[in-house]
C-alpha cells in the first residue's frame, strides 16, 4: 500500500502542466523515431542530452523515458505496411502484420498493435510499480547456464516459424547462425571470418539481414509479379472492432507477461521475447494454420511483448543502476548529469523523482494510444498507394535505416545483398524468419555455453545441478516433443484435406 500512496504522489507531480507537456513531447518524438527504421531511441536521447542544461531533472527524464518507450510503439508501423522491420524485435510482427496489410486490413492490424502496446505497456508499469526491488533480485539468479537453458527453449521456436518444411527451416536457421559467426569471438576475443576486411571485425548487423530479406526481398518479388500496390483490395474499416479485440486480448495479456518476465533479464534480446510470445500464441491457438497468413493474434502478441519488455528494463535500472540496453545507458547518463545515481539508493534519496517518473509512464502510455490511433487510418491508406510512388520511398527507408545502424556504407551493401537473398528465398519457397532467429539466438547461445563452461571449469554438470537451468532445458525438450506431434498432426490434416 505504501507503493500506492507513493504512486499517487507521483501522479500529482507528473500531472503538472510542464511534466504533461514533456511526456507528450517525449512520446511524440519516440513514436517518430520508432517509425523510421534504423534510427532508434538511443541516438535520439543522446542527441537531446544537452537539453538537460535548461530543464529540471524530472522534466528531462520524463521526456527521455517517453522517447524510449514511445519508440517501441512506432516500430510496428513500417513492419505492417511495408514489411520493413525497423529493429529485429519487429520481425515476428511482420510475419502476420504484412499479410494482413496485403489483404487490405492494415488498419485493424495497426490498431491492434497500438492497443496491444498500450495494454502490455501499462501492465508492465503496474508490475514495475509494485515489485521492482523484488523482481530485480530474482532476475539476478539468471547466470550464463540459465541463459543457455532459455536460449535452448527459444530455439524450439524455429519449428513454428519454419513454414511448410522443418528441414528447410532448420537449414535457414543454421544459415543465419553462420552469418552471425562473423566478427569477434566471445572467448578468444579474436576475429573470425573477416578475410582481412577490418569492417568485418564488427560482424554483420542482424538488422541488415532482416531489412534485406524481408523488406527488399518483398519489394523485388512484387516488381517481378508486377503488383500495383501493397494491397489492391478495398480498404475496409480502419479500426479494429469488438470482435477483433475479444479475439486478441488473451494474446496481449500473454505477450505482456512473457515480455515483462523476460525483459527483466538484461542479457535477453527483445527480439527473443517477441519470437517466443509469437510462438506461444501459435501453440495455444485452435487454428495455428492461420499464422503467417494474417492472424491478428500474431500481431498482438509480439507487439505486446516488445512494450512490456521496455517497461521491464526499467527494473534493473531503477533498482540496481544497471542499464539493460544502450538506450537505457544513455538515460542513466541523463540521471547522472543531475547528480542522481540510479540504483538501490535512488528510491531512498529521491523518492519523489522516481515516483514522478513512474507516474508519467502511466500517462505516457495513454498519450501514446491517443497519439497512435488517429494515425492508423493514415498509415492504412498508404498500403493502397501505387508501388511506383511507394517503392522508392520504401527503398530509401530501408537503405537509410541500414546506414544509420552503425553509420556504415558497408551495411547498405549488405542490406542489398540480403535483399537478393530474400528474393531468391521467396521465389524458391524457403522460410525467412528462421534466418533472423538463428542469427539472434546463435551468438547468445554460444556465449552462454562458453561462459557456463568457463564458470564450471569445463564441467557440463553445471547445466543439471542448477534448478532453474535444468527446468528450462526440460521445458525445451517437452516443447520439442509437443512441436513434433503438432507437425505430425498438421501433416495428417493436410493430407486429409487434399
Partner 1 sequence: MKVKHLVVSLLGIVMLVSMAGASLAAEAAYPTRPIEIVCSATPGGGNDTTTRAMAEFVSRRWNHPVTVINKPGGATVPAVHYALKESKPDGYTVLSDSHICSSFMVAAMKNPPVKLEDRIFLGRINLLPVAFAVKTDAQWKTFKELSDWAKANAKELSWGTTGAHGTSAFAIGEWLIALGVNPADTRMVTGGGWNEASVRLLGGHILLASQTVAEFLPLARAGRIRVLAVVAPKRNPLLPDVPTAAEVGYPQLKGVDWWTGLSLPKGTPQHIVDKWVKVIEEMCKDPVFLEKSAKLDYGVAYMGPKELTKYVYEQADFAKQLAPKLAGAKK
Question: Contact residues for partner 1 (CB under 8 A)?
Answer: 42-43, 45-46, 49-50, 140-144, 183-184, 186-191, 198-203, 266-267, 316, 320-324, 326-333, 336-339, 341-345, 406-408, 447, 450-451, 454-457
The closest of 287, 296, 290, 261 to 276, measured between CA atoms, is: 261
Nearest to partner 1 of 225, 407 (CB atom):
407
Nearest to partner 1 of 47, 284 (CB atom):
47
Nearest to partner 1 of 48, 123 (CB atom):
48
Nearest to partner 1 of 271, 425 (CB atom):
271
Minimum distance from residue 447 beta carbon to partner 1 (Å)? 7
Minimum distance from residue 341 beta carbon to partner 1 (Å)? 5
The closest of 167, 141, 144, 170 to 155, measured between CA atoms, is: 170
Minimum distance from residue 408 beta carbon to partner 1 (Å)? 7
Nearest to partner 1 of 103, 408 (CB atom):
408
Minimum distance from residue 410 beta carbon to partner 1 (Å)? 8
Alpha carbon of 364 to those of 179, 330, 358, 359: distances in Å? 39, 19, 10, 9
Nearest to partner 1 of 329, 373 (CB atom):
329
Nearest to partner 1 of 79, 132 (CB atom):
132
Nearest to partner 1 of 344, 386 (CB atom):
344
Nearest to partner 1 of 126, 329 (CB atom):
329
Nearest to partner 1 of 96, 411 (CB atom):
411
Minimum distance from residue 351 beta carbon to partner 1 (Å)? 15
Minimum distance from residue 237 beta carbon to partner 1 (Å)? 41
Residue with cell 566478427: 183
Minimum distance from residue 244 beta carbon to partner 1 (Å)? 38
Nearest to partner 1 of 8, 345 (CB atom):
345
Separation CA 468–CA 271 (nearest Å): 22
Q: Which residues contact 137 (CB under 8 A, 6 or more apart)?
A: 319
* φ and ψ of 184, to 5 deg: -75, 125
Separation CA 346–CA 83 (nearest Å): 42
Minimum distance from residue 188 beta carbon to partner 1 (Å)? 6
Minimum distance from residue 148 beta carbon to partner 1 (Å)? 12
Q: Which residues of 367-400 are buried (b: 16+ CB within 10 A; e: fewer)?
A: bbbebbbeebbebbebbbbebeebbeebeebbbe
Minimum distance from residue 75 beta carbon to partner 1 (Å)? 18
Nearest to partner 1 of 230, 445 (CB atom):
445
Minimum distance from residue 379 beta carbon to partner 1 (Å)? 28
Minimum distance from residue 249 beta carbon to partner 1 (Å)? 34
Half-sphere exposure of 248 (CA within 13 A, CB side): 32
Minimum distance from residue 54 beta carbon to partner 1 (Å)? 14
Nearest to partner 1 of 39, 394 (CB atom):
39
Amino acid at each position: 500500500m505504501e507503493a500506492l500512496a507513493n504512486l499517487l504522489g507521483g501522479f500529482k507531480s507528473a500531472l503538472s502542466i510542464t511534466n504533461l507537456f514533456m511526456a507528450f513531447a517525449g512520446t511524440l518524438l519516440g513514436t517518430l523515431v520508432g517509425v523510421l527504421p534504423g534510427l532508434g531511441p538511443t541516438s535520439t536521447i543522446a542527441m537531446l542530452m544537452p537539453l538537460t542544461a535548461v530543464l529540471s531533472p524530472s522534466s528531462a527524464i520524463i521526456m527521455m523515458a517517453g522517447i524510449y518507450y514511445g519508440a517501441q510503439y512506432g516500430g510496428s508501423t513500417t513492419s505492417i505496411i511495408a514489411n520493413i522491420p525497423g529493429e529485429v524485435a519487429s520481425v515476428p510482427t511482420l510475419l502476420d502484420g504484412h499479410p494482413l496489410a496485403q489483404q487490405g486490413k492494415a488498419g485493424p492490424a495497426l490498431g491492434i498493435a497500438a492497443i496491444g502496446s498500450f495494454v502490455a505497456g501499462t501492465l508492465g508499469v503496474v508490475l514495475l510499480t509494485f515489485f521492482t526491488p523484488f523482481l530485480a533480485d530474482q532476475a539476478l539468479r539468471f547466470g550464463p547456464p540459465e541463459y543457455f537453458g532459455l536460449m535452448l527453449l527459444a530455439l524450439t521456436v524455429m519449428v513454428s516459424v519454419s513454414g511448410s518444411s522443418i528441414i528447410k527451416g532448420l537449414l535457414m536457421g543454421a544459415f543465419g547462425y553462420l552469418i552471425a559467426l562473423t566478427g569477434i569471438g566471445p572467448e578468444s576475443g579474436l576475429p573470425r571470418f573477416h578475410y582481412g576486411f577490418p569492417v568485418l571485425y564488427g560482424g554483420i548487423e542482424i538488422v541488415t539481414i532482416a531489412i534485406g530479406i524481408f523488406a527488399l526481398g518483398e519489394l523485388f518479388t512484387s516488381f517481378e509479379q508486377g503488383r500495383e500496390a501493397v494491397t489492391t483490395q478495398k480498404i475496409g474499416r480502419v479500426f479494429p472492432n469488438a470482435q477483433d479485440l475479444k479475439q486478441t486480448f488473451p494474446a496481449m495479456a500473454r505477450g505482456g507477461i512473457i515480455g515483462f518476465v523476460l525483459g527483466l533479464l538484461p542479457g535477453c534480446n527483445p527480439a527473443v521475447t517477441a519470437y517466443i510470445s509469437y510462438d506461444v500464441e501459435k501453440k495455444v491457438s485452435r487454428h495455428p494454420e492461420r499464422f503467417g497468413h494474417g492472424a491478428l493474434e500474431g500481431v498482438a502478441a509480439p507487439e505486446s511483448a516488445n512494450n512490456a519488455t521496455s517497461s521491464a528494463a526499467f527494473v534493473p535500472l531503477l533498482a540496481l543502476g544497471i542499464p539493460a540496453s544502450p538506450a537505457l545507458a544513455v538515460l542513466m547518463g541523463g540521471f547522472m548529469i543531475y547528480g542522481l545515481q540510479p540504483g538501490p539508493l535512488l528510491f531512498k534519496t529521491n523518492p519523489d523523482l522516481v515516483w514522478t517518473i513512474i507516474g508519467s509512464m502511466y500517462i505516457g502510455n495513454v498519450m501514446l494510444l491517443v497519439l497512435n490511433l488517429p494515425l492508423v487510418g493514415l498509415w492504412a491508406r498508404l498500403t493502397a498507394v501505387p508501388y511506383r510512388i511507394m517503392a522508392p520511398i520504401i527503398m530509401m527507408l530501408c537503405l537509410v535505416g541500414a546506414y544509420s545502424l552503425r553509420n556504415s556504407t558497408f551495411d547498405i551493401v549488405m542490406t542489398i545483398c540480403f535483399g537478393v537473398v530474400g528474393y531468391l528465398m521467396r521465389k524458391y519457397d524457403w522460410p525467412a524468419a528462421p534466418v533472423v532467429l538463428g542469427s539472434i539466438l546463435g551468438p547468445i547461445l554460444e556465449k552462454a555455453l562458453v561462459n557456463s563452461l568457463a564458470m564450471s571449469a569445463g564441467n557440463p554438470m553445471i547445466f543439471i545441478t542448477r534448478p532453474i537451468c535444468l527446468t528450462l532445458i526440460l521445458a525445451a525438450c517437452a516443447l520439442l516433443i509437443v512441436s513434433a506431434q503438432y507437425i505430425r498432426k498438421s501433416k495428417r490434416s493436410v493430407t486429409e484435406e487434399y
